[in-house]
């Protein structure tokens, strides 16, 4: 098996942030996202370098300490919400409605345009020889579609004459795509994600479920799941054999497999902001959040993003996962 490790931070972050700063048709005061930890770490790092305020919504107690420290250290306005990723995604969309905040989640098509370049990097690392399989973790499934979009673009341009087969790896406790695949891609059935050690992919309702299914159909791909025991065993085995840094291994039939292992390293100066919570609200599902409560949160977010001052949030937002 050929294992490729992709670690990518562009040497010139201005190439990413320049459109936000120079486009006359895009007037924003900051950038925001809902995240399970990785997107928020990268977003806050880039924004810190460029001097752009950032705001991130994170599911409480569902990300690692390292993932929490990075946006705080990079000066982001961090809200830890008592819900899952889907609830954070819904909430930030509601809160930023009418505010000049640019959302950088998977719903933003520009994010896919960036992710699809990983497919080009895979080909570059293999000297433009096509691997047979590419295995990708699946949470919100934007990466699945982006990997397909990138390699399909290369085929259309005549750079390659075929495309690799995609494999999506999901945790058995949070596997909305797996039963969809097993049913022959019949109607998708929503199911609440359970708790998993792979909390970055603990997502109930993937934004890109339909496009991911399209990618698998057109790449003759498959979906597989792993139990919590299998996840832990694989982590221990990888640590014991140090396979996470192997440059390339041939599998017995001489076919090759590529998987993406991505790391984001925070950059920039260290700053922190403290949010003081003076009052607790009754826990509720996000869809029942009142307009008054949304308005209060919008005002505080707007105050931070526009004035850039340290603020004290007068309420503690507690939303039950749904």
The torsion defined by the Cα of 3, 182, 217 and 190, in degrees rounded to 10, comes to -100
Pick 84 or 309 by higher pLDDT.
84
Would you say residue 29 has pLDDT above 70?
yes
User: What's the pLDDT at 110?
Assistant: 83
- Cα of first residue to Cα of last residue in the chain, in angstroms, is 40
Contact 79, 57 (CB under 8 A): yes
SS3 46: helix
Give 111-263's CATH code, choosing from 3.40.718.10, 3.40.47.10, 1.10.10.10, 3.40.50.1100: 3.40.50.1100
Confidence band of 120 (pLDDT split at 50, 70, 90): very high
User: What's the pLDDT at 36?
Assistant: 84
User: What's the pLDDT at 26?
Assistant: 57
| Helices assigned H by DSSP within the chain | 14-22, 38-50, 65-73, 85-95, 109-115, 117-125, 142-156, 177-182, 209-219, 228-241, 291-307
Would you say residue 73 has pLDDT above 80?
yes
Would you say residue 270 has pLDDT above 60?
no
Angstrom distance (rounded) from CA 114 to CA 74: 22
CATH 3.40.50.1100 residue window(s) in the chain: 9-108+269-307, 111-263
pLDDT tens by residue, 175-232: 888 988 988 888 887 777 778 888 778 787 788 889 999 999 999 999 999 999 898 8
Would you say residue 69 has pLDDT above 80?
yes
Give 9-108+269-307's CATH code, choosing from 3.50.50.60, 3.40.50.300, 3.40.50.1100, 3.30.70.20: 3.40.50.1100
pTM of the model: 0.64
- In whole numbers, what is the pLDDT of the chain averaged over residues? 73
CA-closest candidate to residue 70, choices 106, 43, 32, 103: 43
Angstrom distance (rounded) from CA 175 to CA 194: 9
User: What's the pLDDT at 146?
Assistant: 92
């Amino acid at each position: 098996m050929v294992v490729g490790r992709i670690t990518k931070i562009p040497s010139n972050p201005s190439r990413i942030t320049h459109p936000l700063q120079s486009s006359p048709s895009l007037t924003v005061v900051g950038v925001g996202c809902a995240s399970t930890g990785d997107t928020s770490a990268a977003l806050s790092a880039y924004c810190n370098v460029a001097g752009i305020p950032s705001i991130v919504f994170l599911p409480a107690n569902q990300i690692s300490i390292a993932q929490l420290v990075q946006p705080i250290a990079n000066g982001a306005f961090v809200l830890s919400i008592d819900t899952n990723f889907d609830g954070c995604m819904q909430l930030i969309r509601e809160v930023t409605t009418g505010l000049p905040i640019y959302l950088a989640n998977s719903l933003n098509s520009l994010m896919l345009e960036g992710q699809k370049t990983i497919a080009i990097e895979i080909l570059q690392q293999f000297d433009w020889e096509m691997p047979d399989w590419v295995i990708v973790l699946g949470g919100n499934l934007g990466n699945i579609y982006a990997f397909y979009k990138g390699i399909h673009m290369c085929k259309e341009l005549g750079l390659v004459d075929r495309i690799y087969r995609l494999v999506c790896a999901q945790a058995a406790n949070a596997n909305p795509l797996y039963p969809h695949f097993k049913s022959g891609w019949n109607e998708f059935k929503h199911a609440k994600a359970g708790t998993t050690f792979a909390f970055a992919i603990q997502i109930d309702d993937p934004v890109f479920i339909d496009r991911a299914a399209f990618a698998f159909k057109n790449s003759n791909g498959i979906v597989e799941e792993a139990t919590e025991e299998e996840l832990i065993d694989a982590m221990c085995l990888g640590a014991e054999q140090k396979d996470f840094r192997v440059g390339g291994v041939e599998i017995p039939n001489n076919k090759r497999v590529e998987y993406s292992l991505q790391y984001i390293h925070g950059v920039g100066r260290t700053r922190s902001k403290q949010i003081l919570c003076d009052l607790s609200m009754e826990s509720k599902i996000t869809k029942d959040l009142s307009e008054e409560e949304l308005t209060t949160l919008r005002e505080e977010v707007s105050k931070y993003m526009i004035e850039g001052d340290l603020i004290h949030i007068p309420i503690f937002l507690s939303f039950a996962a749904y």
